[in-house]
Amino acid sequence: MKPLTEQFGWDRGALSGAFAVGAIMTGVMGLTAGRLTDKYGPKIFTIAAGILLGTGFMLMSRINALWQAYLIWGLLIGAGIGCSGTSMVSSIPRWFTKKRGMAISITIAGFNFGAVIGPLIIQWLVSTYDWRRAFLVIGLIPILVNISLAQFLKRDPRQIGLKPYGEEESPTEIVNPVINKAIQELSFAQIIKSSRFWVFGALQFTFGFCMQIVIIHIAPHATDIGISALVAASILSISAGSRVIGNLTTGFLSELLGSRRVMSACFVLLTLGLVWLLFARDVIGLFVFAVIFGATSGGINPLLTLVPAELFGLRNLGIISGAFLLMGTMGGSIGSPLAGYIFDVSKDYRIAFGVSAAIGVIAVVLSLILLRDKGKVEYSKI
């Protein structure tokens, strides 16, 4: 954010719009990838993600105009992210009947481990060289890693003559057998007529709204109040490290307490963290926020796959995950530029963070609505 706005004189709200376009593209591509992953598996989309992300980051090193950022970040990088996440995460539940929560949590922890070391490495590249060379180096990583590791991916274990882990011990396909029996044969068209689909979609929207405000604007906010760029980058790393802990913890707790109950608790704590951010004006306060926000948002991430698997089954999990990702990225596409424009007008992020906390309260209410859903399946038109 800051190196680009300082070099070219762009407003933060205007540049945040490029991230917003990328978020929408992530959702659209995630929906497409999720639908096709249900049929063909994650391999082709993991390769596509590597090519799109690598090419996009490398081209970002050459930009000189704002429209180029919208084109490259908004289309190429946004599409690459959409191909990567949904196809991978929606495939994991097909491999596990037992310990599904932990399997998804470990997978998502991999995403967040990258986010632990990424900000520090990127900031070092920017400080040591410049942001253009940093983008070139970043572009090599997905090309080398994604394309090579994608060769090992399969849609489900039956493609290689195996059964999902724990299938003999637990023949039901998802956590809740009451819901499972009722929805196994429902199509996606039938599922989207259910009220719980739209409640969960609204929950994903609020989560994306809050996440993008923090991820895009927390480091610029820290430097605005006098914190060094490297320390500001470490806030993102601390948050990502806490997300790894949250990933693994909620995966375990969901098997003991139920995924929806754990999800509601995470949203309550996440909202309290956003309230804390309103009053955090020094390094210690921001580090405390990073831990709270990271642990709770990281805890929520696996549940965004576990809860749909429980509510809607596995038959259409790819396209369902893609649809919810689209709703989440729509929230992010509004939250990030809104925070940027608020800063451009007020020269402060406090109002933007207050809006985020208010949206967090709405998320808590939505999570409690899902928690009270006892499993009666009613698919009436909305």
pTM for this predicted structure: 0.70
* CB 259 within 8 Å of CB 307: yes
Q: Is residue 297 part of a domain?
A: yes
User: Taking a C-beta distance cutoff of 8 angstroms, is the pair 93, 305 a contact?
Assistant: yes
161 in a domain, yes or no? yes
Q: Is the dihedral of CA 294, 295, 299, 300 positive or negative?
A: negative
Q: Is pLDDT larger for residue 308 or for residue 266?
A: 266
365 within a domain of the structure (yes/no): yes
Nearest by Cα to 287 from 234, 211, 356, 349 = 234
- CATH code of residue 205: 1.20.1250.20
Nearest to 39 by CA among 145, 150, 159: 159
Does 182 reside within a domain?
yes
Give the 3-state secondary structure of residue 227. coil
- CA dist 134 and 121 (Å) reads 9
> What is the reported pLDDT for 382?
36
Q: Is 165 helix (H, G, I), strand (E, B) or coil?
A: strand
CA 50 vs. chain centroid, Å, equals: 18
**Torsion sign across C-alpha atoms 26, 158, 171, 166:** negative
Q: Structural domain of residue 11, as residue ranges?
A: 2-369
pLDDT of residue 172: 43
Please state the φ and ψ torsions of residue 226, each to the nearest 5 degrees.
Answer: 100, 10
3-state secondary structure of 354: helix
Give the CA distances from residue 134 to residues 28, 60, 125, 218, 240, in Å, rounded to whole numbers and listed in that order: 28, 10, 5, 20, 20
pLDDT tier for residue 185 given thresholds of 50, 70 and 90: low
Q: Bigger pLDDT: 171 or 275?
A: 275
* Tokens 């207050």 found at: 354
Tell me if 95 is assigned to some domain. Answer: yes
Q: What is the pLDDT of residue 183?
A: 53
For 50-81, write each residue's pLDDT tens digit: 999 999 999 999 999 999 999 999 889 989 98
Residue 172: closest CA among 370, 157, 164, 103: 164
pLDDT, position 232: 87
For residues 66 and 5, what is the distance between their CA atoms, to the nearest angstrom?
A: 10
Residue range 201-228, pLDDT digits in tens: 999 999 999 998 998 888 889 988 888 8
Taking CA atoms, 110 is separated from 116, 181, 257, in Å, by: 10, 33, 24
Tokens 């760029």 correspond to: 229
pLDDT surpasses 70 at 170: no
Q: What is the pLDDT of residue 55?
A: 95
Q: Which long-range contacts (CB under 8 A, 24 or more apart) does 272-275 make?
A: 274/210, 274/353, 274/356, 274/357, 274/360, 275/357, 275/360
pLDDT band for position 379 (cuts 50, 70, 90):
very low
377 found inside a domain: no
What pLDDT score does 91 carry? 81
Split into its structural domains, the chain has a count of 1
Amino acid (1-letter code) at residue 355: V
pLDDT averaged over every residue in the chain = 84
Question: What is the sign, positive or negative, of the torsion defined by CA atoms of 277, 362, 323, 70?
Answer: negative
